[in-house]
């Protein structure tokens, strides 16, 4: 016990304890007894109201997510860094074993790799780290992460990707995104043979939604004819579809994103079988409305909007937004046409999303069959008990009559 004597002990309510027993790693501040004097970002031991020990966690003094459980063992401060290092090593080994033919993937996915608060992404020879908690912002913990990256990827650079909003929530001082290892944050990376620009620190931030990697390939299996990619960002789906579709329109409301998309298109021009992609800067809601009223038709439509429901309360409004988009898209599909439709709102459940799709199909009076029900790529595993890790839904369906 003496080795642990300096480690603060926090007491969780029975609701908090049940949450942990059911496999979640988070306990909200409202489920903690007083934590006066517990410093930000420290290792704490967790106990229930009867004093039964539930494990060791990382503490945040400001976030609503007050503790993130690391292990159900009671560890000492001296065991913390070796444990984190071991988990990074395991995360790296898992991806290396699984993703032999991809140069880009999520190396560490926070909770799902039992490193709650850390994200590491690999874009070919450039890695980015995102620190999401007070604990992972600690100098010694950052150092552990950087050393692990330097050892596993000696030829890669690493940059620190700062999310100002998260730093505010965690009451951490502002910090600039910067290079930590190597001399460039620029690279060209490949997803399923399609090439993309990456520049984590440049004027135009470039990167990718790595969670969609396998969905891009799946979409390209069914896509054909004339295609429309709504919310294209830097062209993720569009550039994959360009290999199989003869005509493509890609929409986004962000001009800078479309500028990068065009650069990405140039990178892949040699591999294209179709003509040029038409990149359209517009509000996808307005444009879909215009296109559908004017009787425009497509063979393939992709919908990958940003998270509409940021909170539980917003779910109703979000589902109405999804329904509007999906309804218009289904209406515009020719028989045999394929809809690839996604939601990255954790608060919208898979069940709720499928129900919305069913009701949209019924409203337009079409026979629609589901071809695939998908989630995020395998480098973003779902941790049982932590539903937040299962945020992405991607459904591929087909209008058959």
Pick the closer one to ligand SAH by CB: 28 or 285: 285
Nearest partner of 145 among 128, 162, 164, judged by Cα: 128
Nearest partner of 43 among 2, 84, 76, judged by Cα: 76
For residue 106, give the 3-state DSSP assignment: strand
| 11 forms part of the interface with ligand SAH (CB under 6 A) | no
For residue 387, give the 3-state DSSP assignment: helix
Kindly tell me which residue out of 185, 187, 212, 268 binds ligand SAH, with binding defined by CB under 6 A: 212
Min separation Cβ 157 and ligand SAH, Å: 22
| 317 forms part of the interface with ligand SAH (CB under 6 A) | no
* Site residues (CB under 6 A) for ligand SAH, limited to 280-309: 283-285, 304-306
The token duo for 308 is 């509409």
Which residue out of 198, 245, 344, 394 is catalytically annotated? Answer: 344
Q: DSSP alpha helices (H): ranges in 269-369?
A: 284-293, 315-332, 350-364
* Site residues (CB under 6 A) for ligand SAH, limited to 145-184: none
CA distance 175 to 166: 11
Min separation Cβ 27 and ligand SAH, Å: 31
| 209 forms part of the interface with ligand SAH (CB under 6 A) | yes
- The stretch among 218-226, 227-235, 292-300, 355-363 that binds ligand SAH (CB under 6 A) is 227-235
Q: Containing H/E element for 46?
A: strand 43-47
Alpha-carbon distances of 96 from 14, 120, 122, rounded to whole Å: 40, 14, 12
Min separation Cβ 147 and ligand SAH, Å: 32
Cβ atoms < 10 Å from Cβ of 13: 16
Min separation Cβ 330 and ligand SAH, Å: 18
| 253 forms part of the interface with ligand SAH (CB under 6 A) | yes
Nearest partner of 55 among 10, 85, 109, judged by Cα: 10
What is the phi/psi pair of residue 212, to 5°? -90, 5
Strand partners, 58: 43, 68
* Sign of the torsion formed by the C-alpha atoms of 64, 70, 76 and 79: negative
| 232 forms part of the interface with ligand SAH (CB under 6 A) | yes
- The stretch among 85-93, 105-113, 114-122, 234-242 that binds ligand SAH (CB under 6 A) is 234-242
CA distance 188 to 342: 26
Phi/psi region, residue 170 (left: phi>0; alpha: psi -120 to 50; beta: rest), is alpha
- The stretch among 24-32, 77-85, 178-186, 226-234 that binds ligand SAH (CB under 6 A) is 226-234
| 214 forms part of the interface with ligand SAH (CB under 6 A) | no
What is the phi/psi pair of residue 108, to 5°? -130, 125
Pick the closer one to ligand SAH by CB: 191 or 330: 191
Question: In the complex, which residue's CB is closest to ligand SAH?
Answer: 236
Residue 198 falls in the annotated catalytic set: no
Pick the closer one to ligand SAH by CB: 170 or 379: 379
- The stretch among 22-30, 52-60, 74-82, 252-260 that binds ligand SAH (CB under 6 A) is 252-260
Min separation Cβ 254 and ligand SAH, Å: 4
Rounded to 10°, the helix 139-152/77-98 angle is 30
Alpha-carbon distances of 68 from 2, 63, 65, rounded to whole Å: 24, 11, 7
Kindly tell me which residue out of 59, 196, 233, 353 binds ligand SAH, with binding defined by CB under 6 A: 233
Nearest partner of 145 among 164, 159, 165, judged by Cα: 159
Kindly tell me which residue out of 92, 248, 251, 377 binds ligand SAH, with binding defined by CB under 6 A: 251
| 231 forms part of the interface with ligand SAH (CB under 6 A) | yes
Kindly tell me which residue out of 257, 260, 301, 333 binds ligand SAH, with binding defined by CB under 6 A: 257
- The stretch among 188-196, 219-227, 247-255, 373-381 that binds ligand SAH (CB under 6 A) is 247-255
The binding site for ligand SAH (CB under 6 A) comprises 209, 212, 231-234, 236-237, 251-254, 257, 283-285, 304-306
User: Which residues are identified as catalytic?
Assistant: 344
């Amino acid at each position: 016990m003496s080795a642990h004597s300096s480690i603060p002990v926090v007491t969780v309510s029975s609701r908090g304890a049940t949450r942990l027993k059911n496999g979640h790693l988070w306990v909200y501040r409202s489920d903690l007894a007083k934590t006066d004097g517990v410093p930000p970002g420290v290792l704490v031991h967790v106990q229930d109201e009867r004093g039964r020990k539930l494990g060791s966690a990382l503490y945040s003094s400001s976030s609503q997510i007050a503790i993130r459980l690391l292990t159900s063992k009671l560890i000492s401060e001296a065991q913390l860094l070796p444990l984190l290092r071991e988990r990074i090593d395991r995360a790296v080994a898992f991806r290396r074993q699984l993703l032999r033919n991809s140069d880009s993937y999520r190396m560490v996915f926070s909770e799902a790799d039992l490193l709650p608060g850390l994200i590491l992404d690999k874009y070919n020879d450039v890695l980015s780290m995102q620190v999401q908690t007070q604990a992972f912002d600690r100098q010694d913990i950052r150092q552990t992460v950087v050393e692990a990256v330097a050892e596993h990827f000696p030829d890669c650079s690493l940059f620190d990707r700062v999310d100002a909003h998260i730093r505010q929530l965690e009451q951490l001082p502002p910090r600039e995104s910067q290079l930590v290892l190597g001399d460039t944050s620029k690279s060209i990376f490949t997803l399923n043979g399609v090439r993309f620009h990456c520049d984590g620190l440049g004027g135009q931030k470039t990167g990718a939604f790595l969670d969609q990697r396998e969905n891009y390939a799946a979409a390209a299996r069914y896509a054909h004819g004339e295609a429309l990619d709504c919310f294209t960002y830097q062209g993720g789906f569009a550039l994959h579809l360009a290999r199989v579709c003869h005509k493509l329109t890609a929409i986004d409301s962000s001009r800078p994103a479309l500028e990068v998309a065009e650069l990405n298109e140039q990178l892949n021009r040699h591999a294209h079988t179709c003509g040029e992609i038409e990149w359209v800067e517009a509000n996808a809601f307005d444009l879909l409305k215009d296109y559908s009223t004017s009787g425009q038709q497509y063979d393939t439509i992709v919908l990958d909007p940003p998270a509409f429901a940021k909170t539980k309360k917003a779910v109703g409004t979000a589902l109405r937004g999804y329904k509007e988009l999906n309804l218009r898209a289904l209406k515009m599909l020719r028989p045999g046409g394929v809809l690839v439709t996604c939601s990255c709102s954790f608060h919208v459940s898979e069940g709720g999303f499928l129900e919305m799709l069913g009701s949209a199909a019924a409203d337009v009076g079409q026979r629609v069959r589901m071809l695939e029900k998908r989630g995020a790529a395998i480098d973003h595993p779902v941790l049982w008990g932590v539903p937040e890790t299962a945020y992405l839904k991607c459904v591929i369906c087909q209008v058959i009559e």
